[in-house]
Structure 1
Amino acid sequence: MRCRQALVFTLPGLWVVAVVLCELLRPLGTQFTELLAATPAIACAGTGRRQCILLGGACALFALLPVGPSGHTGAGTRAGTCAAILAVIVASYLTTGRRRRLAQELEHAKEVATAAQHALLRPLPDRLDGVALAAGHLAAGRGGVGSVGGDLYEAQSTDHGLRVVMGDVRGHGLPALATVAALLGGFREAAHDEPALPGVLRRLDRTLQRHLRDRADQTEDGAAGGAGEEFVTLLLLQVGPGGEITTLNCGHPWPHRLTPTGAVSLAPGDPLPPLGLFPLPAEPPTTALGPLRPGETLVLHTDGAEDARDAAGAFFPLTGVLAETVHTAPAGGLTPAAVVDRVRDALLRHTGGRLTDDAAVLALAPAHDRPGPAALPAPPPRPALARACRRA
């Protein structure tokens, strides 16, 4: 990386030296001095710094001094080359200023989009309704607004139990982020209002359809703008008072269950189609995953965690990483935060930090009730206070 940066900085000077050497060693009748006019443009394309552009232009002008066989070149030719160099310097200088302003605007837009995503994907509390929680998210891309992800997750403590949603919006960028905002807002309301999971799913489906219609109305080509191609994979999960787990799956990957002996990928049945593609059935079927026992951890994730590839094209071994996490767990047992951190670190190592799709991981486990501090014995009463109590 450093060698590449050094080459970029020295390239304008190397270009000038190469032109001068060609001019000195040229055969009769060939001229290379006109190529000096490209020096400021090379500096502009390479470093993008105005100081380098001015320095490269100065070197190109200095190289016009008559040396060797080029000293017999006509004054008109050298004057024309000098004018061309000055013109390229001015154009490159102005172009660099515009590029800097555009880069600053892009950086500002990236900061705003990232802040909006952090506001939407709020950190989960460490514990809700006796369940320990942790979640993490990695957005695809290498920076810019397009790297804002379309994954979503949330957990709400309700009168009906702990309710969790994990979803994946098709696409990236600000349109996907707007869909994430609409669905999270709908879930935070429906999770408390609806007594059963199918009611929550129907509310989310109506929220998505309304959001897509509003977005289509706001765009000039809304009818053909791809709104009908938008869909969301979704997994709704409820942990009842007794620890029993009920789910509703709309095209989303099933979770993994971590036990003291290893990791198991759950696949209790075929999921429903993703939201936005087909109407929901009149009674969406729920699936029971059994109780969440002490010592077990349930890991929810988006398909970006399974479909991530390394440089050789190999998929990320999510089940293997989870199994290794169980086998290398400390004596005190796993925590959801440790599981999420382990998966995130392994995913970044596997992909070299360049994900092609967003990835989100959420882990939940029965919380360990820690006994509070023992009550201290009451201090013996002071003699004066004891005597006053006896007289009373």
Structure 2
Amino acid sequence: MPAVWGAVAVTYELACPLARQDGLGARLVTSAVLLVVGTGLVLHVRRGLLRELRQVRRVAGAAQDVLLRPLPPRLDGLRVAAARLAADRGATVGGDLYEALGTEHGVRVVMGDVRGHGIAALGTVAAVLGSFREAVHDEAALDGVLRRLERAHARHLRERARAEHPAHGVEPEHPVAEEFVTLLLLEIGHDGRMRALNCGHPWPYVLREDATAPDGGRGRVAPLAGDGPLPPLGLFPLPAELPVLGCGRLLPGETLVLHTDGVEDARDARGRFFPLPAVLAEALGAGCGGRTGPVLPHAVLSTVLARLLRHAGGPPGDDAAVLVLRNDRRQAPRRQGAPVGRRAHRVT
């Protein structure tokens, strides 16, 4: 097409008598012809650039989906929904990571947050997720999975340090000595029993439907509180003994909401933090499944993300991720007078 437009311009200049006249009318015609030719060239180049941009976006989206692949809607009797908001414009993956896999040991989940945000954190996300996807099937105990993740993260940092060493001629852009990952490892057994290892990550919330909830609500929102967490990966070496915590059971009909700190740390124009427990209570009350229907994970997720975007006035300044798991397995009788909130304890 550029050759065609150029041929039109050259043909006009050589063959058209008006191009060789000096009158005002001839000059106006010549200017109009050149304007049309120039506009055609610009439009052609613009269409080509847009076509290339769409192709690049498709390739980038496919690559990002391989890295942080969409979770299945159901996993070993659990209904699943997850989403993330990246701080970098145009990116769908940032420094937050999550994955849930069904194994012979139960459903194993990781939720993490790499120091920093956006595209620069993708290498660490890839290293941790790649190791997790292998380790959850190979390691019988949760502490073995965490040690595999620590080794993978340390190996990634060593490789980056060699690549960014000043001997290569440039100063390192990202000091790897300061890079760490907060991490929550969670295992939900076939009987609903939960075990966890927490490396400096926010604890999740449990949504429990309860007809005796106060203020006419449908249930309660309780933090899955545990003992003092371990240090983030990469900040300090893991201790010799890793305290795997027993976190009670996720009973049939109960919902677990995992998140990164970019959710609760999001601020509005007045500097107020995002009230995640209150939003979850709202989602549990009326916004998800109606007053009598079940609490649906995708509805909880939609409510949280909509309120988060409204609270922050747009995408938050840090990466944010939310993962919702609902136990849809066969109902089991609940003990009378069982407490709504359970505190985690160490598994011995």
The two structures have a TM-score, normalised by structure 1, of 0.64
Q: Is the 8 A contact 1:113 1:174 kept in 2?
A: no
1:245-272 CA-to-partner distances (Å, cap 9, x unmatched) read 0000000000001111221123221110
Q: Structure 1, residues 92-137: CA drift from partner, whole Å, max 9, x if none? A: xxxxxxxxx9999999877655443222111111111211111111
Distance 1:174 1:105 in 2: 21
Name the structure 2 match of 1:257: 206
1:297 aligns with 2:297: no
Task: Indicate the structure (1 or 2) with the bigger Cα radius of gyration.
Answer: 1
The residue correspondences of 1:98-109 to structure 2 (distance < 5 A) are: none
SS at match of 1:284: coil
Q: For residue 28 of structure 2, what is the aligned residue in structure 1?
A: none
Check if 1:207 corresponds to 2:174: no
Name the amino acid aligned to 2:280: L
Q: 1:282 to 1:133 in 2, by over 3 A?
A: same
- Look up the match of 2:335: none
Contact kept? 1:179, 1:211, Cα under 8 Å: yes
Q: Following superposition of structure 1 onto structure 2, how do residues 99-178 of structure 1 map, counting pairs within 5 Å? A: 113-141=60-88, 143-144=89-90, 148-178=93-123
Which shows bigger deviation, 212-221 or 186-195? 212-221
Q: Give the alignment partner of residue 332 of structure 1, picking from 278, 293, 300.
A: 293
Flag structure 1 segments of 5+ consecutive residues without an equivalent.
1-100, 371-392
CA contact (8 A) 1:114 1:148 kept: no
Determine the structure 1 residue equivalent to 2:230: 272
d(CA) in 2 for partners of 1:287, 1:230 = 26
Of the candidates 359, 376, 379, which is equivalent to residue 320 of structure 2?
Answer: 359
Whether the 8 Å contact between 1:106 and 1:144 is mirrored in structure 2 is no
After superposition, the C-alpha distances for 1:285-339 in whole angstroms (9 at most, x for unaligned) are: 1111111112211100000010001122111110000011111142111011111
User: Do structure 1's residue 321 and structure 2's residue 268 form an aligned pair?
Assistant: no
Please, which runs of 5 or more residues in structure 2 have no aligned partner? 1-47, 210-218, 332-348
Per chain length, whose mean CA-contact separation is higher, i.e. which structure has more relative contact order (CA < 8 Å, sep 6+)? 2
Q: 1:292 to 1:144 in 2, by over 3 A?
A: closer
Match of 2:302 among 327, 341, 344: 341
Task: Note closer, same or farther for the CA distance 1:159–1:204 as it changes in structure 2 (3 Å cut).
Answer: same
TM-score under structure 2 length normalisation: 0.72
Deviation at 1:175, TM superposition (A): 2.9
SS at match of 1:208: helix
Give the RMSD, CA atoms, in angstroms: 2.6
Q: By how many angstroms is 1:160 displaced?
A: 1.1
Partner of 2:16: none
- Name the CA distance, whole Å, in 2 between partners of 1:307 and 1:103: 37
* Counterparts of 2:314 and 2:122, CA distance in 1: 22
Q: Percent identity?
A: 59
Structure 1 segment 29-68 matched on structure 2, within 5 A:
none
2:239 is aligned to 281
Instruction: Give the distance between the partners of 2:58 and 2:120, measured in 1 at CA.
Output: 16
Q: Is the 8 A contact 1:134 1:364 kept in 2?
A: yes
